[in-house]
Amino acid sequence: MSDEDSIDSPDAALDDGIDLAAHPLTASRLAKHQATLRGPGYPYRFERSHLAGELHDSYDRLEPGTETGESVTVAGRLRNIRAMGKLTFAVLSDVSGTVQLFVDKRVLGDAGFAAFADLDMGDWIGATGEVVVTRKGELSVRIGTFELLAKALRPLPDKFHGLTDVEARSRQRYVDLMVNQEARDVALARAKVVSLFRREFEARGYIEVETPVLLNQATGAMARPFATHHNALDLDMYLRIATELYLKRLIVGGLEKVFEVGKIFRNEGIDATHMPEFTMLESYEALADYDDIARMVEEMFATIATEVTGSAVLRYQGRSLDLTPPYPRAPMLGLVNDAIDGTMSFDLSLQDAVALAQSNGVEPEAHWGHGKIIEELFDRRVQASIWEPVYVTHHPVETSPLARRHRDDPNVTERWELFIAGSEYGNAFSELNEPLDQRRRFEQQTAAKAAGDDEAQEIDEDYVRALEYGMPPTGGLGIGVDRLVMLLTDKAHIREVVLFPTMRPE
């Protein structure tokens, strides 16, 4: 930012139409700000002795009217000012909570009291004074000195109704965070979820790694990538749509237990559960299979839910939801056949399978085989009816090109997806580690792409080369972090758990 310009021309109309110098709500704030810049200026640092929350922890049990004789220094944003003649009460808000400032003209002095009266809601101040409890029992700092740390040139939203407009809260998340405790709670819950995942994986001997975001080829999932260009190399590049194939290269390399938490980018629509950039957690563990991963995930989900919400039994969208393990396993085809009219089977002719799909509301595309039809029937007829956690297993080989064929059934893979409350929360395989089969699967994807499946994966030659060096049996996992945070914070829309959701420009 060009600070010279901003100081010299603060009256330029901003893009939301407010002219700070001319608007009645901002003109006096701006004038005070400019006076401070011309005069004493603003401090570069401030020494705080206590957070608001720490004061409550230490002094909340005192009787009304107590004067502790102890001096503390607090700092934060002024959230509410109630001036009553020679006495003023104000609410100071910091990261830990709020504490009341008790401002007495006799304590602060005439000049100090007048200066305090010049403050506006939203200003950042630091203040020092005695910890007291008012006659009404409110823990307060009776300030003897204070300092303006930063001026708020813009007014805060309505102090009671706050900011409720979804669009404004999303675009100006900084304001949402200032005035809505719920917004702060979600941000903290999210941070805690990610932190707990790290703790849990590290406790199991995993190491955290970082794999590339910018790729020559977007592989490892079925999704459209964002395309970009590297100028110096004059090279078209893509943002990653998964971390899977790079993490498995690390298993080949012998790191054995790896995980990564990071942004994934998919060039697709935005709705209640989808954002073009979202946070995925992937992990891979040598010598494990998908059952090992399932046991790990259900333990982690219960632990994280308990630490974030206080219980493994949640309320989500008005309903109770129990994340206590173990979670039942159910083969996909069995669930489909419970839900449709007729019986789907890999033994049906493709013609009969298509007819069965059509009679159950699914119109197969030309390139679909039995597997895609089964998965589509599951999506349309089963998924939404799932509430309590269930591992859906036995995904068709056709729709799982990176998963190992099931040890007992060649039509399906050792794969599960964890469904809760109608959405997918995790996806895991016994990883396909046999290079010749992997090459054939990629070739089948290429054929599907040629037949019109624009989501089919491309072959990643270097990945096959890596497998040719030998990958041990491996259990892999992907978890949508945003959705888990939604579940734990009882949010129905992903935008509520992403600090800065993707939006069109204003």
Partner RNA sequence: GGGCCUGUAGCUCAAUUGGUAGAUCAGCGGACUUUUAAUCCGAAGGUCGUUGGUUCGAUUCCCACCAGGCCCA
Q: Which residues bind RNA (CB under 7 A)?
A: 17-18, 23-25, 28, 80-87, 89, 100, 102, 104-106, 120-121, 134-138, 140, 154-168, 170, 269, 271-272, 492-493, 495, 503-506
Q: Closest CB to RNA among 477 and 485?
A: 485
Nearest-approach distance from CB 414 to RNA, in angstroms: 30
Burial class of residue 483, CB neighbours in 10 A (0-12, 13-18, 19+): buried
In this complex, which beta carbon is closest to RNA, that of residue 207 or of residue 492? 492
92, 98 contact by CB (below 8 A): yes
Cβ closest to RNA, residue 258 vs residue 420: 420
Q: In this structure, are residues 259 and 206 in contact, taking their beta carbons and an 8 Å threshold?
A: yes
Nearer to RNA, 164 or 181 (CB): 164
End-to-end CA distance of the chain: 20
Neighbours of 69 (CB within 10 A): 8
181 near 91, Cβ under 8 Å? no
Picking from 119, 128, 34, 127, the residue whose alpha carbon sits closest to that of residue 79 is 119
- Taking the least distance from each CB to RNA, the nearer of 205 and 269 is 269
Nearer to RNA, 105 or 192 (CB): 105
Residues 6+ apart with CB under 8 A from 87: 102, 103, 104, 105
Distance (Å, whole) CA 201 – CA 198: 5
Please, which residue, 157 or 364, has the CB nearer to RNA? 157
Q: Write down the least CB distance from residue 270 to RNA, Å.
A: 7
Residue 242 tokens, joined: 């998964």
Q: Where are the beta strands (DSSP E) in 134-233?
A: 139-150, 207-208, 214-215, 227-230
Least separation in angstroms between residue 165's CB and RNA is 4
Tokens 């599960």 correspond to what residue? 416
Q: How far is the CB of 491 from RNA (least distance, A)?
A: 10
Q: How far is the CB of 169 from RNA (least distance, A)?
A: 8
Q: How far is the CB of 71 from RNA (least distance, A)?
A: 17
Q: Are 392 and 419 in contact (CB under 8 A)?
A: yes
Q: How far is the CB of 503 from RNA (least distance, A)?
A: 4
Residue carrying structure tokens 């998964």? 242
